[in-house]
Chains A and B, each alone.
Chain A
């Protein structure tokens, strides 16, 4: 469904919501691209897989079933995952991916400073109890951090909250408020703000929208469904 189709459909069923969408569009000049509602592909797997050079050491915080690390190990990377879910861990082992059962809300193993080339937080930061603690730990352990997250500033999210007055649900935020794992929701602008306030260098930034990713532009705070940042401590 194209963006235009969506607005037309809204005009018929929820005229108020459509007006709000039009309003948001009017205040953002970049608005008007198409936005899809398709299930989320693992775009960040592909991107991270390309961003990390062959032979790097990689710590994946919340590595899930180990698909990313398996892919990285295939190109000579040394991978270590942390994951909380037992079934996911069994699947990691079956893929030959080493993983420690670990809850990011509790103490991580005491890795030495700068002991990994890359530390990855793929769609995980918004699920932890203390995101700032995890980010700091990421930048302490890794020379470079890669963070991907759903953008709570996306127009569709804003619209649902503004017009319906209910917590938004999108392909990226697909669960109800009472069952979602996402407990710290933030926008691209929020994340950039945190980096600026804490002297964290942003090396690269990407946005995902309309089924593809691109270099992030300012309007992506409204347009991007998800974002991916490559960051490092300012001193590094």
Chain B
């Protein structure tokens, strides 16, 4: 086994392919579908119905005549439908973070999607849809509530992973896709894959769950709670009706910092930030005087002679505020907290997984402490004892939870192999 820190330092996220690269899906355009209206509202798990519902999704590659080459990717907490390539509409939709070439988060899994990559768009049709309650084109708390004519804010009904999957199924109906070749997702996206496998067992031939377990740990719930508290206690939160006014940027920023801490590992942080620590003799008497404004301006973040890890978290917080809605953060983390795949078996996971069909791939990462290897293994074992074909691998990585986005080489081999197996 190679030294994990060496492995970490040695690996770098692959160079991003530009829009003209032969390995890029190139310029992309988001698509929209109206999937619920007054006559056909979406009944949510909380008991309330919602309409209208718009879903933003993206499609790359060609749909085969038999419509049997679709890979659907499910995004995580802060993700969107724009998995890969370069958004040709970033200006039109006011999404400067996707700008070419300098956007801070132009796409989120470009390393896996494109011609010649694991999800090879010259062979497969790749689909991803933004979840209900998010803020990237699908109906969410920042959308207009038809009942009041103003943004929903916290009047938006609570949504669940089950609701998302139900809506995804409507999208598949809308697109005329009966069965996915592969459903794949990491983290909260992985939980959607689990849910799809249980709610609609015939809708996917293969299911790949990365860094996700059947239920978030209590430690995870606690961290989500702290993150939500940072948002709702921000003076700008204004009971969720902050649209058009000042936004709860400090709160959302702190929430994002907490999130990022959970995405890294202790070991990964040592490797990345240890050299940027302040030394004891660098302590200043006026440490907490607000003499240094943070990176960016008017952000509300005040820097105090920062350690490298502090600068990192501040940058994450600032970047996130440019592209995310605080209310969406509340709703999506709640969906994460409430999810439990065992509900399909009256609280018994093994009983729940008896419903599953298709071939499963479950991958965890050794240094992930948000969705731990033990938690992911529970899913694999529950499938296995039901005699379902399942592969489980605990991938050696120092990247923590983020590994599902970064361990491209091993994931590429695993998923390419898995896809090959599905087409035997």
Chain A residues engaging chain B, CB cutoff 8 angstroms? 57, 78, 80, 86, 89-90, 92-102, 109-112, 115-116
Contacts and interface: CB of A to CB of B under 8 A. Distances in A.
A111 B381 CA distance: 9
B396 to A, nearest CB: 6
A90 B393 contact: yes
9 contacts: A80-B390, A86-B396, A89-B391, A90-B417, A93-B418, A94-B417, A96-B421, A96-B424, A98-B391
Contacts of A98: 359-360, 389-391
B261 interface: no
Tier of interface size on chain B: 20 to 34
Nearest to B384: A109
A98 B358 CA distance: 12
B383 to A, nearest CB: 9
In the A-B complex, the 8 residue pairs with the closest CB atoms: A96-B421, A94-B417, A93-B417, A98-B389, A109-B381, A109-B384, A100-B392, A89-B393
Given A90-B410, A93-B414, A100 B421 contact: no
B150 interface: no
A80 B384 contact: yes
Nearest to A115: B387
Nearest to A90: B413
Contacts, number: 72
Between A89, A93, A99, the greatest number of chain B beta carbons within 10 A of the residue's beta carbon is seen for: A93
A98 B359 CA distance: 8
Contact of B389 (A80, A89, A115): A80
B363 to A, nearest CB: 9
Between B359, B384, B391, B421, the greatest number of chain A beta carbons within 10 A of the residue's beta carbon is seen for: B391
Contact of A86 (B381, B395, B417): B395
B3 to A, nearest CB: 15
Contacts of A78: 387, 389
A95 B418 CA distance: 8
A90 B414 contact: yes
B393 A101 contact: yes
Contacts of B359: 98
Contacts of A89: 391, 393
A100 B384 CA distance: 8
B389 to A, nearest CB: 4
A93 B361 CA distance: 9
Between A57, A99, A101, the greatest number of chain B beta carbons within 10 A of the residue's beta carbon is seen for: A101
A109 B385 contact: yes
A86 B391 CA distance: 11
A92 B385 contact: no
B390 A86 contact: no
A119 to B, nearest CB: 13
Contacts of B13: none
Nearest to A83: B393
B396 A95 contact: no
Contact of A57 (B381, B384, B387, B391): B387
Contacts of A116: 387
Contacts of A97: 421
Contact of B391 (A92, A110, A111, A112): A92
Given A96-B417, A98-B359, 9 more contacts: A57-B387, A90-B417, A92-B391, A97-B421, A98-B389, A102-B392, A110-B381, A111-B384, A115-B387
Between B360, B389, B396, the greatest number of chain A beta carbons within 10 A of the residue's beta carbon is seen for: B389
Interface string B387-408: 1011111111000000000000
B4 to A, nearest CB: 13
Contacts of B381: 100, 109-110
Interface string B8-26: 0000000000000000000
B384 A101 contact: no
Nearest to B382: A109
A94 B413 contact: yes
Nearest to B361: A93
A80 B392 CA distance: 11
Nearest to A91: B417
A92 B414 CA distance: 9
A119 B360 CA distance: 21
A93 B393 CA distance: 10
Contacts of A57: 387
A114 to B, nearest CB: 12
A112 B361 CA distance: 21
A153 to B, nearest CB: 35
Contacts of A92: 391
Between A80, A89, A98, A110, the greatest number of chain B beta carbons within 10 A of the residue's beta carbon is seen for: A98
Contacts of A111: 384-385, 387
Nearest to B350: A110
A92 B421 CA distance: 10
Contacts of B389: 78, 80, 98
Given A86-B395, A101-B392, A94 B420 contact: yes
B332 interface: no
Contacts of B414: 90, 93
A57 B384 CA distance: 13
Contacts of A109: 380-381, 384-385
